Amino acid sequence: MKLRVSSSGLIKMMIRLSQILEPVYEEIRGDVKEEAQIWADETGWRVNGVLHWLWAFAKDRSVFYWLDKSRGSPVVEKILGSVFYGVLITDVWCAYTKIVCPKQTCMVHIFRKIRKFIE
C-alpha cells in the first residue's frame, strides 16, 4: 500500500481538520474562561524563522493554546475578555496586568525571588 500524498494534499487535509475541530477549540476557550482559576503563560515560538508567541491558558483538565505575533495585553483580552471572573495565575508579565481580575503569582516565580533574596 504505497500511498503517496503530496504536500498540498496534506495542507488541504490539515485545513479541513482545523475547520472540523474549530467548535471543539472554541468550547475549550469557553471552558477556560469560565474556570475559577487558570494559569497563563507565553513562550517564544518561531514560525518560518519569525518570532511569534505561543500563549497557554490552562485549567486542571484542559489548555487553550493561541499563537500570535504579539506578546502584549491585547492577546490576553482577546482570549479572556477585559474582565475575568476567576483568579489569573501568571509570572507577572505586564501583559496580564491590563485585565481586571484577582491575580496571583505562580509559585515557581515566588520561590525564585525568595532564593534570590536569600542569596
Over residues 62-89, the pLDDT tens digits come to 999 999 999 999 999 999 999 999 999 9
Burial class for 114, CB neighbours closer than 10 Å (0-12, 13-18, 19+): exposed
- Cα 66 to Cα 40, 54, 59, 87, 113: the distances in Å are 11, 6, 15, 20, 28
What are the cell numbers at 107?
509559585
Name the band, by pLDDT with cuts 50, 70 and 90, for residue 119: very high
- Of all residues in the chain, the percent with pLDDT exceeding 90 is 85
What's the whole-number average pLDDT of the chain? Answer: 94
Among candidate residues 87, 95, 76, 91, the one with its CA nearest the CA of residue 29 = 76
Range 12-20 average pLDDT:
95
What ranges do the domains of the chain cover?
Answer: 8-118
pTM above 0.85, yes or no: no
